[in-house]
Amino acid sequence: MSASPTLLVVGFGDIGARTAKLALAAGWACNALMRTPRPSEGVKRIPGDLDEPATLTRLLDSLSDFRNRSENPAWRGQISPLLQGNSGLYYPKKRWNMHRPDGFAADFPKVRQAASQGAVLLHCAPPSPHGTDDTRTAHLLAALDSAPPRRMVYISTSGVYGDCGGAWVDETRPVHPGNARSRRRADAETQLGAYASRHGIPLVILRVPGIYGAGRLPLERLRRGEPVVCAQEAPWSNRIHQDDLARIAFRAAQDDAPPGIYNASDDVPSSMTDYLCCVADAAGLPRPPSVSLDEARQTFSPGMLEYLNESRRLDNRRMKEVLGVRLHYPALAEGLARIFST
């Protein structure tokens, strides 16, 4: 990587800001697409709105160091021209496959050398709120089509796997999203994979479960005494501490991070019921009352029922062994202890 790499954050919320802070501490420059200004010391704001494509023209300024890869000797032999006249676009000889953990198997040492210019894109923006297609990702990639980033990291969701009946799930499992929100995420993954193939750049997809941390705990819900499904019937769920996720995202942004798909979760799946009871205990609040799964299906909100209709346990070995991540909070107890000790 060059002496002064740049991180371009799209979706500058909690995880984007935390990852930018890590990048700045490591000597990177940071730009962020923001619809509205927010405190961001050291981060250059790029005004724009993914729902308004006309506002995205200034994104190209953050990628102004891009060079035509077809003229780079390190790239020769790694790309093949698209059969679309003089489009000027290229894709690696092996196309992206979202069902393979390693994405596509181009010669990435040479790709990294060829892609030594340009920013790293960290795409944290949530998908469009309606439909099955993620138009926000479509607008973003269209805006960057003439000047691709050097590599991309996408914060996706483990919801793309759908209901797995409580089974352990690794990255080889085919996606089977069970609701519209997850289908939009799967669509974004597909769009990013096609874009990465076309431009010959590494792509890391992080499939993320529920995120917890300071400012992200369900304390108001617990104070309201909202019920949970009884422990015996509660489906499996997964989570990750916000600081660990930021560290995973920053690791994925580095040039020597192997591209592909990673489950970005902690080591200990549990249930939403267990999670809420543990948070209540740590916060000194009463544990929530419990109801049967049948009663929950009759009384819970549609959004909550989407979570109750899915059960899976994420296998994170690839994240640790291939991406080389060491979790600071491998279990919920450690994360909660840190939150309530500060």
SS3 of residue 314 by DSSP? strand
pLDDT digits (tens, 9 = 90+) for 178-205: 999 999 999 999 999 999 999 999 999 9
Residue pair 38/66 in contact by the 8 Å Cβ criterion:
no
Residues 194-219 as b or e (16 or more Cβ within 10 Å = b): ebbbbbbbbbbbbbbbebbbeeebbe
pLDDT at 66 > cutoff 60? no
Neighbours of 129 (CB within 10 A): 11
- Full residue range of the structural domain in which residue 185 is found: 6-215+239-265+314-328
Domain contains 187:
yes
pLDDT at 60 > cutoff 80? no
pLDDT digits (tens, 9 = 90+) for 18-40: 999 999 999 999 999 998 888 88
Neighbours of 157 (CB within 10 A): 22
Domain contains 230:
no
Candidates 48, 45, 44, 46; CA nearest to 35 is 48
Domain contains 71:
yes
pLDDT at 61 > cutoff 80? no
Domain contains 179:
yes
Domain contains 272:
no
**Count of all residues that appear for the chain in the document:** 342
Cβ partners under 8 Å of residue 27, min gap 6? 4
Rounded Cα distance, 339 and 210, in Å? 16
The predicted model gives 151-178 an average pLDDT of 97
Candidates 23, 3, 2; CA nearest to 12 is 23
The alpha carbon of residue 289 and the mean position of all alpha carbons in its chain are separated, in whole angstroms, by: 33
pTM score, two decimals? 0.86
Residue pair 321/251 in contact by the 8 Å Cβ criterion:
no
Domain contains 161:
yes
Rounded Cα distance, 27 and 55, in Å? 29
Residue 148, domain CATH: 3.40.50.720
Q: What's the confidence (pLDDT) of residue 246?
A: 98
pLDDT at 41 > cutoff 50? yes
pLDDT digits (tens, 9 = 90+) for 128-147: 999 999 999 999 999 999 88
Q: What's the confidence (pLDDT) of residue 221?
A: 95
Cβ partners under 8 Å of residue 103, min gap 6? 96, 97, 193, 196, 202, 203, 205, 259, 260, 261
Q: What's the confidence (pLDDT) of residue 97?
A: 59
pLDDT digits (tens, 9 = 90+) for 74-126: 333 333 332 222 222 223 334 555 556 665 433 333 333 333 457 999 999 99
Alpha-carbon Rg of the chain, whole angstroms? 21
The predicted model gives 309-328 an average pLDDT of 97
Q: How many domains does the chain have?
A: 1
Domain contains 21:
yes
Q: By mean pLDDT, which of 50-64, 74-88, 232-246 is the weakest?
A: 74-88
Q: Greater confidence, 10 or 93?
A: 10
Neighbours of 264 (CB within 10 A): 29
Domain contains 306:
no
